[in-house]
Amino acid sequence: MLNTILEHKREEIKNLVLPEPVTVEKRTLYNSLLNTNFLAGLIAEVKKASPSKGVIQENFKPVETASFYERAGASAISVLTDERFFQGNRDYLTKVKQHVSLPILRKDFIIEEQQVEESARIGADAILLIGEAMEPAKLHQLYQSAYARDLEVLVEVHSEETLLAILEHFQPEIIGVNNRDLNTFVTDVVHTENIAPLIPEGSLLVSESGLFTQVDVLRVRNAGAKGVLIGEALMRHENPMEQIQTMMGSGSHERADG
């Protein structure tokens, strides 16, 4: 599946027209993740659909949902901008940026420089770069141009091999372990537990995908994750603020697992 998405993305990039830059202030993802009363810093995702689940929320209101996330105490908002496979849109990101005051992560399949520039222009504070989507040297190059444009990067890996190959090139500030295999779509929180010991000191670990309960959050937090990225569990709940409280607890509920 990842290959299908990437093939389509390469075609899209050929027709990419860069928008006029929006004027917005920068916010920092790294600091915001560490500054939380929850069990871990929460990156809450607005996501209408995905290739594995189809449409997740019929009546999709990205700005309203993002505002709920902010009021509930999220550290950052992730906005899917891929149109073809996730029914996202770059305008959603710009609107969310203009209406909430949290850092905004652009969630897309970024494989070329123009997309880094595009991300800065639409008002993103951070971008996702997927280890499995390109060679480590290319990833490093995009990583550097992102930071040069004042964009932070969440470097996502699914496998141990991908992480080790990247670490031979450089040490990302923020590393995401995707619990979902982008080829089979199977999620398993054990991925975070397996890979966490390989994350170098000084990199901030974010556990992504397939988190549905406070027990899931506690598991990855106990494995060393300082942040979590949650989409579906929040999008499917009729009251996302309540769901955030339930899943994320707070410092005082640290021993909820007994």
Ligand X SMILES: O=P(O)(O)OC[C@@H](O)[C@@H](O)c1c[nH]c2ccccc12
Instruction: With beta carbons less than 8 A apart as the criterion, state whether 242 and 90 touch.
Output: no
Segment 34 to 53, residues that bind ligand X, using CB under 6 A = 45, 47
Segment 125 to 144, residues that bind ligand X, using CB under 6 A = none
To ligand X, the closest distance from the beta carbon of 124 in angstroms equals: 14
To ligand X, the closest distance from the beta carbon of 25 in angstroms equals: 25
Q: Are strands 174-178 and 104-107 parallel, antiparallel or unpaired?
A: unpaired
Instruction: With beta carbons less than 8 A apart as the criterion, state whether 227 and 204 touch.
Output: yes
Nearer of residues 93 and 230 to ligand X, judged by Cβ = 230
- Would you give the binding string for ligand X spanning residues 160-199, x where CB under 6 A is met? ------------------x---------------------
Q: Is 232 in the site for ligand X (CB under 6 A)?
A: yes
Return the closest-CA partner of residue 177 out of 108, 131, 111.
131
Rounded CA-CA distance 156/171 in Å is: 12
DSSP state of 187: B
Q: Is 107 in the site for ligand X (CB under 6 A)?
A: yes
DSSP state of 225: -
To ligand X, the closest distance from the beta carbon of 47 in angstroms equals: 6
Nearer of residues 100 and 206 to ligand X, judged by Cβ = 206
Q: Give Cα separations from 226 to 92, 97, 102, 257 (angstroms).
A: 27, 23, 17, 17
Which residues sit at the interface with ligand X, rule CB under 6 A? 45, 47, 107, 156, 178, 208-211, 229-233
